[in-house]
Chain A
Amino acid sequence: MNRMPLTRRHLLRHSACGFGSLALAGLLGEQQAHGASSQLAPNPLAPRPPHFAPKAKRVIFLYMSGGPSQMDTFDYKPLLQRDHGKPLPGGVPELQKAAGRRLGTLLGSPFKWAQHGQSGLHISELFPNVAHHADDLCVIKSMHTEGFDHANATLKFNTGAITSARPSMGSWITYGLGTDNASLPGFLTICPDRTRGTRNYSNAFLPAIYQGTAIGHDGTPTREADIRHLTNAELSPDLQREQLAFIQSLNRDHQQRASAGGQLEGLIQSFELAFRMQAEAPKWMGLESEPTHVLDSYGIGDDETDDFGRQCLMARRFAEAGVRFIQLTHTIRRRHNKIAQWDQHQYLEEGLRLNSNAVDKPIAALLADLKQRGLFDDTLVLWGGEFGRTSVLEMRGKDSTQWGRDHNPLGFTVWMAGGGVKGGYSHGATDDYGYRAVDNKVHIHDLHATILHLLGLDHERLTYRYAGRDFRLTDVYGNVVHDIIA
């Protein structure tokens, strides 16, 4: 192990208690980037160079919790419309049969479809505003995954694994690239679905600094979303600064007497970062400074779009601030007792309208805003849910108007935009009824490999040694989908 020159260590030891530690963190990060190690832990969040020239610098993941129906949104299937009411040729796959739900005949999409943009991508009437950006979208229609229930499929999407605890995509990426803003966490997840478990944004065996920091959670309105314990209910920042000065003076004395120098230093710095976060995060999270026309464009203030509009605008602000991985989660906070999330077992039409109305305008505004600010080209936007849905109807309740579609990991759609992907491009295909991915199939592992590739990371080289083995986001799988890269 290389020892740090005494002068620099001395400098660190005696000045780390002030705001100067920010600059020092940068110094240390720079040292790490050049392969030196030191006993005082270098700032693990300092930016690190990728393996090769990246197309994208950051990711905004628009997670549609529940599993949006592909054949009602972006995967147009004329034969499904034509054969509505007929049985699915070959019968329902074992996977869905085993779940014991009442599945019926083919269910044509109740929505109107049109081609959009120069590319002529098919998009249903559910996304009129996103459709304006058709020529920016790279739609992957041949996704497939594992996990028949939400929690497992969500884990698969976010971590690539179901049974074992593995780091999430955002954690891997922050581990690989660090972050550009020293006063904010590198991986933020806005209103995550807590009932699915924190494993979806967990660092697992990666260092804890790479875990996703949650801002609020589902079930609370976005306007109330906050980082836990970010503010002190009793002490003003000035008073807290005085308290912190007292704590750090005790720490300074203690450091003269104790070993574990690196960790003690880390703790001292973590208080400084926390204090900076208290000041900085609300500035980036707070939308008050945004002009009215921007708020309006995201649909903020409008009951229907307020929640996700705020998430999208926050995402743009965090992207500007240099946050590496920003995950948004859209869930409907039960306004109708049978409609929850993008999970249309029943009330297909009503449920999809409710969901898409809540996200369509905000997403379109985000894409436009990123472009206007010059962030679109190096920001990878990813839209999708944990799986797709069946082409056949699921019968819950007596009335056919209540019917919907069941879970389906065998075929579904995600789309990407910006960040080096082809615009107005459609990749892969499901079968004639949109049930199974058949052509140019893209597994979740392939999607992960591709996202890392766009960020300049080789998914086979981004590894972490844990319990005697080098682990990857893609385990032993994954092929980069080169066809979609611009």
Chain B
Amino acid sequence: MHASARRVMATVMVLAAASVGVARGASASDDDLHFFEREVRPLLAERCYECHSTQSKKVKGGLYLDSRDGWVAGGDSGPAIVPGDVKQSLVLCVVRHEVPDTEMPPKQKLTPEQIDVLEQWVKRGAPDPRKGVVPTRAKRVIDIEAGRAFWSFRPLRSHDTPAVRDAAWPRTDIDRFILARLEAAGLRPVADADAHTLIRRLRYDLTGLPPAPDEAEAFVAAARSDTQAAVEAAVDRLLATPEFGERWGRYWLDVARYADSNGGGVNYTYDNAWRYRDYVIAAFNDDKPYDAFVREQIAGDLMPSDTPRQRADRVIATGFLLVGPKPLAKYDKQALKLDVVDEQIDTLGRTFLGLTLGCARCHDHKFDPVSQADYYAMAGVFMSTVSVRPPKGGPISTWNKVSIPVDEKHEPWYAARQKQLGKGEALAVQDADKPHDEHVRIRGQSATLGDEVPRGFLRVATRGDAPTIPADTSGRAQLAVWLTDVDTGAGALSARVMVNRVWHHLLGSGIVPTVDNFGERGERPSHPQLLDTLAAQFVDDGWSVKHLVRRIATSRVYRLAAVPDEPDVTTSADPQSTTRNPQSVDPDNRLRWRAEGRRLDVEAIRDTILTISGRLDEQRGGPTLTYAGRLNAEGNYKKLDVPNPIYRRGVYLPILRDGMSMMDSMDMLETFDFADPSMVTGDRASTTVPTQALYLMNSPFVMKHAELAATQLLKRDGDDAPRVRWFFERAMGRPATDHEIAQSLKLINHFTTVDLTRAAAATHKADKPGNDDKPADARTLAWAVFCQSIFSCNEFLFLN
């Protein structure tokens, strides 16, 4: 929260909000007027008009002091002067610096004489002959009904599949929607990707790992006779692997701004956050209906459960509300609560609804039909929920924890690590003892109270009567239902947002490219009818994410080639010669005439390197923190930066908010655009900065695993050429060409002659901690240079 010199504290507010009353000097005497002209007017002009007049470049606080009507009406904090009453006149309070952070003028205090002049003036009844029209503030009144007409707030409906001229190309309805638009623009889709590219794409998109060479060859063989059938079989097979949930769960953790520590000034570990992480992964693997997934994360603790296990899961799910950053050391505990609630509302808005609700904390949303009252209606729900607890001594608050039954069968590591990890607890919320409604906070300042607003939901996304919130509950249960209710609540929007996220992950960009913003400031959908139809089907399918993934991944659009950006794009054979150059018509490929190449994300790069080096630890789930407590000190991070590095999949790495760079074993994440866990990230950055190149060229991690990969490779029977060919296929999903084999062997032979053993021996101990293999010979080291080169080349890092 930003304190501002213009902030007005509640105490002053309450005083000044008393009615203006009848000005004692309604008919001012000549003496009074003379006093005003001689003393007051010049003072106001000199010290106040800069920010408080119709001539101001920008009027501050909505207050005008250049006319009587101006101070009578007052600014955001109410009337500025109560004639005759020096105690209740806000202007006097602020010029006397009686309230911290509200000192006026902000830069230099008035002299005692000047303050005295103002006092005299108020005592005289504030005689003021100045007439002037106070500009009515261009206050935008939010028109909820008009807001509902905005595309993302409309009810969901399925659209008829459009007719297409080329009936042979489409495989699914998705294809017909896409092709119809392309044909209308005079474009044709490019050719399909080849089978090697396709299985690599499917493998990474669905599981985040590369295809094994024999897996790739089997797919290529199957695709030769029937590509569609081969794709469908591969999709079904991959959807059933546990790696699917690890891949898609991580996407969710990005939008849930998941971390294993609080971050910031008091960076405590969230010892039990891993339970939420595992809950998310399991939800995707079990194909938990998305509406239930949403509801559990908001109010799982309030839902009836059939078994203790289900009960525990649902409590754990509410960790969603708590894994964000919290200013735990903030001394104003009421402001702290509001900050935490703000972070929850903002996250909920972006994650589920694609709305920037946090903007409405201080004022009505400037672009979207969300009023400040809407915001505080939801704030009431979360202020009636226990998220943080006051300190037990000292200034630092803690977060809420709930005991859960621990099933030792499910958690074999539990007994062994009980001491480290504490009791069977979950990072989870619960309802407050006394639920209550919240006041609007003027300008978002916790102490500046406006009207009280009943707990409730966004009006723009509510149709008909909003659910009633019983007085003795927080309203989270009703909010959870509202979020996924397609008919009367925000369900249509929630479905659209999720469908778009899935599309984005499979096709590289969303139908709405701004995946976390479906508001006025977001981009519009390229294919609104397709998005709505998919969302309606998603709901009809029981909100099944796996069905949705399957529907998109088996379309022909998904299968397009990522052809290079050249004028002579190869198009499918087209008898009609009207086809235009797609690059000039649709350079951004919003109509989907080709696939877009993408850089792999950091987990995929890392997990692939570990797979190829043979070191990937396939243990799933469970805690990976090896230290619990406050971070903020070099030594504490050291306890986490364990001597035996974690070689489990990236999704299981401990995510220390604001502390990732402290751990040498984690620095790859930050280097390669890992999602900042303090922000909702539906679309990670994909940058190409030199630090990434340095990492690939020089880091002990890459060098070590290149060496391990070389060792593995040399154990394979046969000649060097087939080895190179196999390694290309292992790393990049396709066999090497003869030219590439020749070049690779040239490199390997050259580096064998150079003999790197001496240099390597020097670094073996110092820079490669955890390398338990005996020093490699010259040949292995030369092959390691080759393997590292492959790990560094574009084709390895990119998905075509």
Contacts and interface: CB of A to CB of B under 8 A. Distances in A.
A229 interface: yes
A468 B264 contact: no
B699 interface: yes
A119 interface: no
B562 interface: yes
Contact of A148 (B331, B632, B633): B331
A250 B565 contact: no
Given A194-B662, A197-B264, A233-B767, A274 B519 contact: no
B703 interface: yes
A260 B265 contact: no
A258 B508 CA distance: 14
A152 B688 CA distance: 31
Contact of B694 (A162, A205, A257, A278): A278
B794 A149 contact: no
A316 to B, nearest CB: 24
A27 interface: no
B725 interface: no
Interface in A74-133: 93-95, 98-100
Nearest to A207: B687
B603 interface: no
Interface residues of A, number: 92
Nearest to B692: A270
A274 B697 contact: yes
A154 B376 CA distance: 30
A231 interface: yes
B793 A250 contact: yes
Contacts of B767: 233
B397 to A, nearest CB: 12
Interface in A396-425: none
B616 to A, nearest CB: 22
A274 B265 contact: no
Contacts of A278: 694
Given A194-B662, A209-B687, A233-B698, A163 B327 contact: yes
B747 A246 contact: yes
B580 to A, nearest CB: 15
A469 B521 contact: yes
B789 A246 contact: yes
B587 A247 contact: no
Nearest to A273: B690
A229 B750 contact: no
Interface in A260-296: 260-261, 263-264, 266-271, 273-275, 277-278
B375 to A, nearest CB: 16
A99 B395 CA distance: 5
B33 interface: no
Given A260-B798, A271-B697, A468-B514, A165 B789 contact: no
A267 B797 contact: yes
Contacts of A195: 631-634, 637, 659, 662
B394 A250 contact: no
B674 to A, nearest CB: 11
A232 interface: yes
Interface in B658-675: 658-662, 667, 670, 673
Interface stretch (B105-113, B159-167, B530-538): B105-113
Given A254-B794, A273-B690, A240 B588 contact: no
Interface stretch (A302-310, A348-356, A361-369, A435-443): A435-443
A367 to B, nearest CB: 29
A247 B793 contact: yes
B263 A197 contact: yes
Nearest to B589: A259
B5 interface: yes
Given A197-B659, A258-B564, A263 B688 contact: yes
* Chain B contact residues, majority secondary structure: loop
A163 B350 contact: no
B634 A146 contact: no
Given A246-B747, A441-B103, A233 B792 contact: no
A171 B233 CA distance: 48
Interface in A190-217: 194-199, 202, 204-205, 207-209, 211, 213-214
Contacts of A242: 747, 750
Nearest to A276: B690
A225 interface: no
A16 to B, nearest CB: 12
A263 B800 contact: no
B787 to A, nearest CB: 11
A259 B108 contact: no
B343 A468 contact: no
Nearest to B680: A467
A230 B698 contact: yes
B763 A233 contact: yes
B107 A151 contact: no
Given A195-B632, A198-B658, A270-B693, A208 B687 contact: yes
B355 to A, nearest CB: 9
B222 to A, nearest CB: 23
A234 interface: yes
A271 B697 CA distance: 9
B181 interface: no
A152 B265 contact: yes
A464 interface: no
Interface string B749-781: 011001010011011001100000000000001
Interface string B295-314: 00000000000000000000
B599 interface: yes
Nearest to B701: A229
B794 A197 contact: no
A255 B327 CA distance: 47
B800 A258 contact: yes
B690 A277 contact: yes
A440 B107 contact: yes
Contacts of B522: 468
A200 to B, nearest CB: 9
B139 interface: no
A477 interface: yes
Interface in B519-533: 519-522
Contacts of B59: none
Contacts of A39: 565, 587
B678 interface: yes
Nearest to B747: A246
A164 B596 contact: no
A451 interface: no
A243 interface: yes
Interface in B719-752: 740, 743-744, 747, 750-751
Nearest to A195: B632
Interface in B500-523: 514, 516-517, 519-522
Contact of B794 (A228, A264, A468): A264
Contacts of A269: 688
Contact of B325 (A94, A163, A227, A243): A163
Nearest to A262: B565
A235 B747 contact: no
B682 to A, nearest CB: 10
A372 interface: no
A147 interface: yes
Given A148-B329, A198-B658, A228 B667 contact: yes
Contact of A163 (B339, B394, B517): B339
B171 to A, nearest CB: 22
Nearest to B561: A259
Given A208-B689, A249-B743, A440 B108 contact: yes
B628 interface: no
The 8 lowest CB-CB distance pairs between A and B, nearest first, are: A468-B521, A197-B658, A151-B265, A260-B597, A274-B693, A266-B688, A233-B763, A208-B687
5 contacts: A164-B678, A204-B679, A207-B687, A240-B697, A258-B800
Given A207-B687, A234-B760, A273-B693, 15 more contacts: A3-B584, A148-B331, A165-B679, A195-B632, A195-B633, A196-B658, A228-B667, A232-B697, A242-B750, A259-B800, A260-B599, A263-B597, A271-B693, A271-B792, A468-B517
